[in-house]
Structure 1
Amino acid sequence: MSIITVGIDLAKNVFAVHGVNESGKAELVKPRVARDQLLKLISKLPPCLIGMEACSGAHHWARLFQAQGHTVRLIAPKFVVPYRLSGKRGKNDAADAAAICEAVTRPNMRFVPIKDEHQQATLCLHRTRQGFVAERTATYNRLRGLISEFGIVAPQKVERLLQHIPAHLEALPAWARRCVEDLLVHARDLDKRIDDYDKAISQVAREDARSRALMQLPGIGPVSASALLASIGIGHDFKSGRQVAAWIGLVPGQYSSGGKARLGRITKAGDAYLRSLLVLGARSILASLGEKQDRFSRWARELVERRGYWKAVIAIAAKNARMAWAVLHYGEDFRLTLNIEAA
């Protein structure tokens, strides 16, 4: 019998490969495959289903295997663990490959969308910008901590912090003053780099018709639009917008039993970056409501009054996630409307 399913445990240099035939019997067990030999091994196999954990390099290998005619599925590592434990196997590469091989065949398994090179390049912009933002925040916090050692308590807002520091520089010891000045220079350099990445991301968003369509949604700007497009593509890996909202972690967790439904806090599953962008966009919508009387604004205002500010923010963010999927999935067939309907 020919191999129909293959599980691959990815690594830097040595990979484990496990393949089974139609009856579920192992036909291919390779606990150690060198990196330069993996593609050669897979290219010799007939078209089959290949499963891998969604980790570093997974999308690259997925594209290579798809070019060989295989069907590739990426699985979140946490979904593979139960299948390794069910076989009472120890934790090693071969056991992981066998567990992946079993998990990828499950009918209700959830998979990670495979990204093309353009999507990954766009996400590189976002990840690098995100890193610079985090570094800038750390720099200002370090600055506050240093000057507090000399009795200078700085304001929390960056604008007020920058206005507050110059008046106290002369009172600092020489070496401390040098450290503060260097940190300020570093923060200004990070500001410039972040501005450059903002411009690059905006350019990427403007050049793509799908991103421009996403930016018509309230609360979604160039950063959110390009991140959504790079993360979910045209949405073909999701059956509905609700699945996208659940994938991002904007739906309540269920703790139901005995016929009694119990809904808890949002799951916060999936991509925290996407979730934060959608939440920030929802907050900007509520901040700019004013006295607007269009249907969307009335719905958002009533939602805040009925359920509270933060629940309204999450509801709007989840709504935007569902609408974004519809825009990407249906394209020109989707007629964008801001009318809020029951989802």
Structure 2
Amino acid sequence: MEYIGIDVHKRDSQVCILAEHGEVVLEQRIRTQRERLGELLSKRPKARVLLEASTESEWVARSLEEMGHEVVVADPNFAPMYATRSRRVKTDKRDARTLAEACRLGAYRPAHRTSDEQRHMRAQLAVREALVRTRTRSISLVRALVRREGLRVADGEAESFVRRVEALALPGRLKAEVAPLLCLMRHINEQIAFLDGLLERLARRDEQLARLCTVPHVGEGDGVRLRLRGG
């Protein structure tokens, strides 16, 4: 069996292939693309492949598994995996060769690989959090613009902020200044409500989530975040 180490990066990756007894068969730098991985590795005999957990690691691992290879996504914090690497000189080529050698020796600790559903939910949570941050910044800016004219927006929940601003007797120019932000927040509120509905449905289907949501002050969204983080 061959042993392959891949130092995966966003644009380019370094590949090192070792024979069963440790001889270097191939060292090559390629674009981090499915097509390039396929050109290089799809026709090779089944091999064990080691790569570090990273943003790109899951799709790279799945692509290689579809080619018939055995893939290990490793914990990059496992120090013994880099026991053979020189501390003085660190290059992608040396890292790929070190990963290949760790793969051959079994000197690695597999990282947890999430399911498709967990990956999907994490993406939805990330999108929701981005929407909430955008809404928060918009609220802060609108409040500042309104205060500049000697007015105040009443306190309340973020979801009702637009209505509370519209209840004010805003001067014409100020109304025109905040109008784009209020329009944006209406759309953001709709999208957050849609995502919250998805999270609530997930919470009702998942037994562990259902138990988490019974903890005081933990809602469906909090429960989903705890579940996906292993909490």
Task: Tell me the TM-score range normalised by the shorter chain.
Answer: 0.7 to 0.9
- Counterparts of 2:39 and 2:115, CA distance in 1: 22
TM-score, scaled relative to structure 2: 0.73
Aligned-residue offset at 1:103: 5.6
One-letter amino acid matched to 2:144: G
Which of residues 180, 183, 200 in structure 1 aligns to 2:181?
183
Q: How many residues align?
A: 224
2:209 corresponds to 1:214 = yes
Aligned-residue offset at 1:224: 4.8
TM-score, scaled relative to structure 1: 0.53
- Calculate percent identity across the aligned residue pairs: 23
One-letter amino acid matched to 2:211: Q
Aligned-residue offset at 1:161: 5.6
User: Do the aligned partners of 1:63 and 1:116 also contact (CA within 8 Å) in 2?
Assistant: no
Q: Structure with the greater relative contact order (CA < 8 A, sep ≥ 6): 1 or 2?
A: 2
One-letter amino acid matched to 1:212: E
One-letter amino acid matched to 1:188: R
One-letter amino acid matched to 1:86: S
Q: What are the residue-to-residue correspondences of 1:1-343 with 2, within 5 Å?
A: 2-4=1-3, 6-11=4-9, 14-32=12-30, 35=33, 36-75=35-74, 83=82, 86-91=86-91, 93-102=92-101, 109-152=108-151, 154=153, 157-158=156-157, 165-166=165-166, 168-170=168-170, 172=171, 174-206=172-204, 208=205, 211-217=206-212, 218-219=214-215, 222-224=220-222, 226-227=224-225, 231=228, 274=229, 321=231
One-letter amino acid matched to 1:18: C
CA displacement, residues 240-287 of structure 1 (integer Å, 9 cap, x when unaligned): xxxxxxxxxxxxxxxxxxxxxxxxxxxxxxxxxx48xxxxxxxxxxxx
Alpha carbons of structure 1 residues 144 and 105: separation in structure 2 relative to 1, 3 Å: farther
- Counterparts of 1:156 and 1:22, CA distance in 2: 68
- Counterparts of 1:168 and 1:106, CA distance in 2: 70
Alpha carbons of structure 1 residues 146 and 103: separation in structure 2 relative to 1, 3 Å: farther
Aligned-residue offset at 1:86: 3.2
Range with bigger deviation, 26-35 or 98-107: 98-107
Aligned-residue offset at 1:140: 1.0
User: Do the aligned partners of 1:74 and 1:111 also contact (CA within 8 Å) in 2?
Assistant: yes
- Counterparts of 2:141 and 2:98, CA distance in 1: 45
Aligned-residue offset at 1:76: 5.4
Which structure 1 segments of 5+ residues have no match? Answer: 232-273, 276-320, 322-343
